[in-house]
Structure 1
Amino acid sequence: MAIKEILKFQDKTLKRVSRKVDKLDKETKNLIRDLKDTLNNVEGIGLAAPQIGDLKRIIYIDLKNGMNPILLINPIIVCKIGKEKSREGCLSYPGYEGIVIRPRRVIVKGTNEIGKEVTYEARGLLAKAFCHEIDHLDGILYIDKAKKIYKIKE
């Protein structure tokens, strides 16, 4: 559909809680295409619908490591296991990274783009990406959780 502008951290939309998606209609399918097109056009691994201005509970993750990309509608984290501290960045806060504590492993449930309920057990980078993107759906940015934030050196 279209490559959308990614909202920056100052935009109040990013601090709002997203609405549950009740049906997989044409509008939702267009939003899914916009998420994919936008993420495929930038150097990032995840994008949530609020980051392109749509307060719907949809995330798209593409680790760009050969694993199939993941699109989830109404995702929820049903289990968090362990904790680890690591660097994290965000397309809505470009040029910076922060140190954030996230679960080591998560189990996430949601609906895929054809309406089927799916479950993922994730660890490492994928677990962090799920947590980061789901936080966006709740109006939380990684900078709200970061222990330290620093400018990325060119």
Structure 2
Amino acid sequence: MTIRKIVLHPNEILSTPTKKVTEFDEKLATLLDDMYETMLDSDGIGIAAPQVGVSLRVAIVDLGEGEDIIEMINPEVIDTEGEAIEVEGCLSFPELYGEVERPYFVQIKAQERDGTWYELEAEDYEARAILHEIDHLDGVLFDSKILRVVDPSELEADEEELI
């Protein structure tokens, strides 16, 4: 496993919709493993392939605390409900935090690293992280959704992990 360099804004790959994954092979498994290591090394809870310079519909969310690692390949949002405004950050925007409105609940379908499909429902912070990463895959960046910029001094120590 390799820790890859995080692509920082502004970079065209971050605002370009990604390509669908069609090959579920060792190269994809290596990408997922490298993304996970890169995310952990950067104190993140989520990462999308464009953030490591790869334009594929691949993202990971890991909230830690005994939660399962969510690997999303070719994810699609099936349903959302509710609204919540919370503070977000992003590995590709160091030191930028902002209040962002997102659905409180999300239902998605996505593929595992072996290509099998699964469905997942998530609420609250997990839903927020999933939707943040899917936005990356669609070329949508969180800075375009910020309602209010939040100074890093306003953050609690446990909120400093980045999506």
TM range (shorter): over 0.9
Long gaps (5+) in structure 1: none
Residue aligned with 1:147, SS: strand
Superposed displacement of residue 31, structure 1: 1.0
Superposed displacement of residue 9, structure 1: 1.4
Separation (CA, whole Å) in 1 of partners of 2:148 and 2:9: 16
Superposed displacement of residue 92, structure 1: 0.6
Task: Report if aligned partners of 1:39, 1:46 keep a CA contact under 8 Å in 2.
Answer: yes
TM-score, length basis structure 2: 0.90
Instruction: Check if 1:143 corresponds to 2:143.
Output: yes
Superposed displacement of residue 12, structure 1: 1.4
Q: Tell me which amino acid in the other structure corresponds to 1:152.
A: P
Separation (CA, whole Å) in 1 of partners of 2:47 and 2:12: 17
Mean Cα deviation higher: 22-31 or 48-57: 22-31
Superposed displacement of residue 69, structure 1: 0.8
Separation (CA, whole Å) in 2 of partners of 1:44 and 1:31: 16
Runs of 4+ in 1 over 3 A off after TM superposition: none
CA-based RMSD of the aligned residues comes to 1.2
Q: Tell me which amino acid in the other structure corresponds to 2:36.
A: K
Long gaps (5+) in structure 2: 156-163
CA deviations over 1:71-111 (Å, ceiling 9, x no partner): 11001111010111111110111112111110010001100
Instruction: Check if 1:67 corresponds to 2:57.
Output: no
Separation (CA, whole Å) in 2 of partners of 1:20 and 1:115: 12
Match of 1:102 in 2: 102
Among the aligned pairs, what percent are the same residue?
A: 35
